[in-house]
Structure 1
């Protein structure tokens, strides 16, 4: 009885934590059992789904932190149900859930009469510009299909809302470390799934999906099956593994508990194996790029020496002949100019340049690739395979769209680079966190030039989530530096120079204008 009451309290609150509440719960369970016996198992499944889905759905409206954790989890694992034939519109349901959460948060802002902390901080204006520009693409005169716009605009109009919600919710370093650790957990599960695929083969529904979608040429190369984990393809899986390996390999010292460190080391091994067994060359390129960025920004001679040793080891691996397929795959990553697929991409990009010069706002969202073949077959762009996130943005939204898109990264990274001066930060945790994000964005921008990943899950959610966390970290790091600076100068007020006072006041004003939304 006591345990049952605790369960009720946890599920529906103090109001129903009574004997009557327990009676209602037991009565409902018995009713469900009778219905199952009188009808069939489909009724039980439907009722179970309603009992679980409805509380989760309404929690998205009132529990912002839960909603963000939910969206992160779904972004990693949504590839699994998408491979199972079903009539449920999974993609639209996911988008609707994001909108539902956003409206719930707006309602809270209305109740508190506080919109500034959510909607008025510097980088978010560039997010608004990107969302608005993609929304206006519905009127693109060169677009061949409005239906293609509806199906492809959602990652660019709805998913950026996660940036706004995440920035509002995660306000302390402790919260940030917790959610980043959670993301490592779900990424490790995805990596372990990919390792299982390599060692034991695909599950039945995965193989049926490969055959039904004629995807064998993507997952079977040179007599070997590639792992794709819970994502949509080996390429996306490999890029995810590469990004997360870099990201969390640097963050191990930030987590203080021994159990966390042990888990992170085990997780990194699994993620690295997932990267290798994906056979994704872009994923292999991410690792050295990320580490080079971190070493370059560290500002320490010893780190530069370690970096030089690692570069020497990497160079040895690249130039040394080997019969191992996986090593050969890694070596081919750094010899892309000799690769036929790379040459074909360059030829495609050269062919499209004259057309781009005459279409400054592009050919419309969904005009290229799979969506182009589905909604506007026979057009010039429907046969164009961008094979690059930047090229796709440029073709579908024009040079104007590419400028709007890249301006967000500029607004995010340039102030952080010039104002934070990460190489001189006193707090080692903030230094490691921010260095990791610089490496993440540097590697992401490079790999997006070679792979079309921005509008595809989990990257279309993860990008906005990590961007919001980065913005919050910048604010926290600046605030911590100001606090240290004030404490230091409080101890020597007598020798405090007027020039330093003006400098401090100027930096305080900058912080308030750029990052302080409260």
Structure 2
């Protein structure tokens, strides 16, 4: 009775708030009754979103880390949640930038005075001028396509220089990256062992099966956009984790890195993505170049030669689908390779009089959506470099490739005389991972896709920072 009396007194003295709470509860109840689960989830998501936005604006570093997380998860979530999560990366980057602009902290903008930032701005300006390319068919196509081609790069590289330029930040990124990759592997193994769930099967039925069910076998895609991106991302993680394991002194951490490297390699295999094999090849080659140890170089060449010989000149394990699929990557008469070569021949004829290409977004899925009857929309652009060539011309391709090679050169020079083994192996790991992605992008559109794109752009920044890491260590030693 006493409790009831207290409740009545509270309601009597707070009549307006009480009515407001009851009215809100009624509205929420009606919304759930008519809208079902989606409305209920929206009620939960809205306050979470408000909290997240507030946190990112107040501490913009968390915005950049959230970009990494969404880079891994956003595409997969769209299979379960009918929402335009593809634009979540854009929103997060804008919020992070606003957090930097309106933060009460002062950021060292001198960090932006370097060749990487200059190349980033130069590349974006070039793609910006593609708007006025007389061959361009659609401004909307440019808007959607330029994000992966240059806009994300323009956001991520300066923001990383400003917000995550310490060695501790690099360690945080590596742990987040490898943790999400491990999660992706386990999700992929679940798909491989038990088959797709209902949402994944619906995605396959809607058209995904055309490229993901080959000869009755599933090409595992995990929660990534497709099997190609899953395989390349797994190979990328395998290279980085494997090299980190070599430089790790603590046994427990070394075993963890070895476990992630091996499991990620397995993830690459079950993806059925042949091009991902070249991430391993390119990453291994970059590692041997960077380590500058003759015995390791010889050992690496021998292992590489044996692997090449096993795939190229034997039929051992041919009954295994993953090995069989990987072996076709080295077959010069492979049907899909011949189709790609023929497409490139047609593109060469088309682009011979178009040095600036057909316009950003004129090919691929955006071309099919906004200018479906154009030549580029009807020609497959399977390679990242073929895409850049087709849409920005030979001028754009030369600028883009030379920029990538220049960045790799700077990374090598910055690693060359590094002494602390732990720091050196971190730098070699991200250098080799970047080299593997750059090589494998000849076969697949990797650089502009998530999560590979955001990881590549962030690791480019760290290749410019070894000297600062050493200075920070020295300052801590004498502080």
TM more than 0.5: yes
User: By how many angstroms is 1:255 displaced?
Assistant: 4.7
| Mean Cα deviation higher: 257-266 or 314-323 | 257-266
| Mean Cα deviation higher: 223-232 or 299-308 | 299-308
Partner of 1:153: 146
- CA distance in 1 between counterparts of 2:389 and 2:452 reads 19
The yes-or-no answer on 1:216 pairing with 2:248 is no
- CA distance in 1 between counterparts of 2:192 and 2:253 reads 27
> Residue 377 of structure 1: SS of its match in structure 2?
coil
Partner of 2:426: 433
Cα 1:411/1:293, change in 2 over 3 Å: closer
Partner of 2:45: 49
Q: Map 1:193-232; keep pairs closer than 5 Å.
A: 193-212=187-206, 214-232=207-225
Select which of 290, 304, 310 maps to 1:311: 304
Cα 1:136/1:312, change in 2 over 3 Å: closer
CA deviations on 1:130-173 (whole Å, 9 max, x unpaired) are: 12222222222110111211221122343121111112222322
| Mean Cα deviation higher: 324-333 or 393-402 | 324-333
- CA distance in 2 between counterparts of 1:474 and 1:363 reads 42
The yes-or-no answer on 1:138 pairing with 2:138 is no
The yes-or-no answer on 1:172 pairing with 2:166 is yes
| Mean Cα deviation higher: 121-130 or 398-407 | 398-407
> Residue 362 of structure 1: SS of its match in structure 2?
coil
The yes-or-no answer on 1:181 pairing with 2:175 is yes
Cα 1:75/1:474, change in 2 over 3 Å: farther
Partner of 1:497: none
Q: Map 1:245-256; keep pairs closer than 5 Å.
A: 245-255=238-248
The yes-or-no answer on 1:363 pairing with 2:361 is no
Question: What's the RMSD between the two structures over aligned residues?
Answer: 2.8
The yes-or-no answer on 1:449 pairing with 2:445 is no
Select which of 75, 99, 106 maps to 2:101: 106
The yes-or-no answer on 1:238 pairing with 2:231 is yes
Select which of 276, 291, 294 maps to 1:301: 294
The yes-or-no answer on 1:63 pairing with 2:56 is no
User: By how many angstroms is 1:286 displaced?
Assistant: 2.1
Instruction: Structure 1: state its 5+ residue gaps.
Output: 1-26, 488-518
CA deviations on 1:82-109 (whole Å, 9 max, x unpaired) are: 22462x332234312211211221233x
User: By how many angstroms is 1:246 displaced?
Assistant: 0.7
- CA distance in 2 between counterparts of 1:59 and 1:352 reads 47
* Aligned residue-pair number: 451
- TM-score for both structures, normalised by structure 2: 0.86
Query: Are the aligned partners of 1:194 and 1:227 in contact in 2 as well (CA < 8 Å)?
Result: yes
User: By how many angstroms is 1:225 displaced?
Assistant: 0.8
Query: Are the aligned partners of 2:287 and 2:432 in contact in 1 as well (CA < 8 Å)?
Result: yes
Query: Are the aligned partners of 2:141 and 2:366 in contact in 1 as well (CA < 8 Å)?
Result: yes
- CA distance in 2 between counterparts of 1:221 and 1:252 reads 35
Q: Map 1:377-388; keep pairs closer than 5 Å.
A: 377-388=372-383
- TM-score for both structures, normalised by structure 1: 0.80
- CA distance in 2 between counterparts of 1:66 and 1:139 reads 37
